[in-house]
């Protein structure tokens, strides 16, 4: 109890799943190519059908100066900016103009809306949407103590992410209704006590979003930032990043053994995303990985995994380490050879897993051959199939095999030395499927 710290509280009010958040109510100005219109209304963060920041208001000033055709153009090509009386500012788009009832205009804010003083911060708080119900260090809220803190460090910065104290109700509602909710609150500070700007830490927080998303198997995002200097609020920013609707995906990340897993690879991910070669590659790889989780058809999911694996193979084997000439890689190697070489370089086992539905596939050399052959069958179907019956169960486990290769490849690139959840095994329970990463000896597992 003595070492437990107070949980960080959310900076915004969201009483239930999918509840809209009021950002501003009152008068605000739309600047349409230099022509200004004053509206009276509100600006809200809404969640369904997708996360977005909406505005809607009645025109109270300037409508005589704005012709109808300009407002129509304003919904497309014109530059539209929104500014509130208390300092919020952001680029917007006009979606609808109603000339009949009180001359209403509505639309969405593009990217973000913020108010910021020209002052540096000593702390920045933020709110995370739809991250997992994972464990972590123990924290306290009033008389309640629970496991829910993650601490990420990079150079002079320390990031804390805390699960909200009412997490049981939040996850119960998410599992029942789906959609969106703020699940975690966080803060970032300079460990030397030095002040910083939002630009100084923006990349670190973007990396955090990618890492939490990789653990969740879908896009997780930060919806708001609140910066402080000596307890005075000097920055407030609301944004609508790409956030996937709530769903519990089963993947490499085990919530049963999660403490320290993400924290250990955060610094490496920061470095990789700032790397000229790997930055864009990893972001695209994560995107294909998320697609493999949410696509409707299993065949599409398998193709997404194959694209991501081949991109990693090209980057690591050809571009970074020059193990094989690019012409040979492109023209001489089959897809199975490329994947096999990547797995060899990363010390990832290539044997076909010993599970029941794979026992009929004894004509395949290894898992790389099995996975890429089925992918080729999707893209170039044949009349005669002579390598075993492809049941729905077989397809599911072939997808899981490809995902396992992709997840382990990403973890290997990031230097991970912990446990992962092997979903292509003969174990019956998730807790039994936890294994050490294959490139790391058991005695140094972290």
Q: Which residue has the tokens 């597992």?
A: 445
- Domain end call among 99, 115, 131: 115
Query: Within this chain, do residues 111 and 121 fall inside the same structural domain, yes or no?
Result: no
Query: Within this chain, do residues 108 and 132 fall inside the same structural domain, yes or no?
Result: no
Query: Within this chain, do residues 386 and 412 fall inside the same structural domain, yes or no?
Result: yes
Per-residue pLDDT reduced to its tens digit, 388-434: 567 888 899 999 999 999 999 999 999 999 999 999 987 767 667 89
- Is residue 172, in this structure, part of any structural domain at all? yes
Query: Within this chain, do residues 76 and 157 fall inside the same structural domain, yes or no?
Result: no
* Beta strand pairing call for 221-229 and 123-129: antiparallel
Residues facing 151 on adjacent strands: 160
Q: What is the pTM of this model?
A: 0.93
Domain count, the chain: 3
DSSP class of 143: T
- Is residue 322, in this structure, part of any structural domain at all? yes
Q: Encoding tokens for residue 359?
A: 């026992």
pLDDT the model gives residue 77: 63
pLDDT the model gives residue 27: 97
Query: Within this chain, do residues 33 and 179 fall inside the same structural domain, yes or no?
Result: no
- Is residue 264, in this structure, part of any structural domain at all? no
What are 411-415's contacts with CB under 8 Å, separation 24+?
A: 411/252, 411/265, 411/437, 412/346, 412/347, 412/348, 412/437, 412/439, 413/272, 413/278, 413/282, 413/312, 413/316, 414/265, 414/268, 414/269, 414/272, 415/265, 415/268
Query: Within this chain, do residues 202 and 57 fall inside the same structural domain, yes or no?
Result: no
Domain with 309, as residue range(s), is: 295-444
Q: Encoding tokens for residue 309?
A: 């694996």
- Domain end call among 115, 131, 164: 115
- Domain end call among 88, 115, 142: 115
CA distance 446 to 436: 9
Per-residue pLDDT reduced to its tens digit, 267-307: 999 999 999 999 999 999 999 999 999 988 898 999 999 99
Helix (H) or strand (E) holding 393: helix 392-413
Helix (H) or strand (E) holding 215: helix 198-216
* Beta strand pairing call for 89-98 and 232-239: unpaired
- Is residue 286, in this structure, part of any structural domain at all? no
Which pLDDT band, with edges at 50, 70 and 90, does 446 fall under? very low
pLDDT the model gives residue 300: 92
Query: Within this chain, do residues 9 and 151 fall inside the same structural domain, yes or no?
Result: yes
CA distance 91 to 80: 6
Query: Within this chain, do residues 33 and 9 fall inside the same structural domain, yes or no?
Result: no
- Is residue 232, in this structure, part of any structural domain at all? yes
Contact status, residue 66 vs residue 37, Cβ threshold 8 Å: yes
Query: Within this chain, do residues 361 and 223 fall inside the same structural domain, yes or no?
Result: no
- Is residue 186, in this structure, part of any structural domain at all? yes
Query: Within this chain, do residues 231 and 134 fall inside the same structural domain, yes or no?
Result: yes
- Is residue 284, in this structure, part of any structural domain at all? no
Cβ atoms within 10 Å, residue 331: 8
- Is residue 272, in this structure, part of any structural domain at all? no
Q: Is the pLDDT of residue 443 over 60?
A: no
| DSSP codes joined into one string, 33-83 | TTEEEEEEEEEEEE-SSS-EEEEEEEEEESTTTS-HHHHHHHTTTS-EEEE
């Amino acid at each position: 109890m003595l070492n437990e710290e107070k949980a960080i509280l959310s900076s915004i009010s969201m009483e239930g799943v999918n509840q809209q958040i009021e950002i501003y109510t009152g008068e605000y100005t739309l600047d349409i190519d230099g022509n200004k219109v004053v509206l009276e209304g509100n600006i809200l963060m809404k969640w369904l059908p997708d996360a977005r920041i909406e505005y809607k208001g009645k025109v109270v000033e300037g409508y005589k100066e704005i012709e109808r055709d300009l407002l129509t153009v304003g919904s497309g090509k014109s530059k539209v900016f929104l500014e509130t009386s208390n300092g919020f500012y952001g680029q917007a788009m006009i979606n609808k103009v109603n000339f009949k009832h009180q001359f209403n205009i509505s639309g969405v804010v593009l990217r973000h809306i913020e108010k910021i003083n020209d002052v540096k911060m000593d702390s920045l708080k933020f709110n995370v949407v739809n991250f997992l119900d994972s464990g972590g260090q123990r924290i306290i809220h009033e008389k309640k103590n629970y496991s829910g803190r993650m601490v990420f460090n990079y150079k002079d910065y320390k990031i804390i992410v805390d699960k909200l104290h009412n997490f049981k109700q939040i996850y119960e509602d998410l599992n029942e209704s789906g959609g969106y909710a703020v699940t975690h609150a966080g803060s970032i500070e300079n460990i030397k006590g030095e002040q910083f700007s939002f630009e100084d830490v923006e990349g670190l927080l973007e990396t955090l979003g990618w890492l939490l998303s990789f653990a969740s198997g879908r896009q997780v995002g930060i919806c708001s930032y609140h910066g402080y200097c000596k307890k005075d609020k000097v920055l407030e920013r609301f944004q609508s990043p790409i956030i996937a609707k709530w769903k519990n995906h089963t993947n490499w990340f085990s919530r049963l053994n999660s403490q320290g897993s993400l924290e250990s690879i955060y610094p490496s991910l920061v470095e990789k995303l700032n790397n000229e070669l790997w930055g864009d590659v990893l972001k695209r790889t994560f995107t294909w990985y998320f697609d493999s989780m949410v696509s409707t058809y299993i065949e599409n999911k398998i193709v997404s995994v194959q694209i991501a694996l081949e991109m990693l193979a090209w980057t690591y084997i050809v571009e970074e380490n020059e193990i094989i000439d690019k012409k040979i890689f492109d023209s001489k190697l089959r897809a199975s050879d490329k994947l096999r070489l990547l797995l060899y370089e990363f010390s990832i086992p290539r044997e076909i897993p010993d599970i029941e539905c794979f026992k009929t596939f004894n004509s395949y050399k290894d898992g790389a051959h099995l996975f890429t052959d089925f992918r080729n069958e999707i893209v170039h179907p044949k009349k005669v199939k002579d390598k075993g019956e492809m049941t729905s169960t077989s397809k599911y486990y072939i997808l899981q095999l490809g995902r396992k290769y992709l997840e382990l490849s990403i973890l290997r690139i990031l230097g991970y030395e912990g446990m992962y959840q092997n979903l292509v095994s003969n174990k019956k329970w998730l807790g039994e499927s936890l294994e050490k990463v294959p490139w790391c000896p058991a005695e140094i597992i972290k």
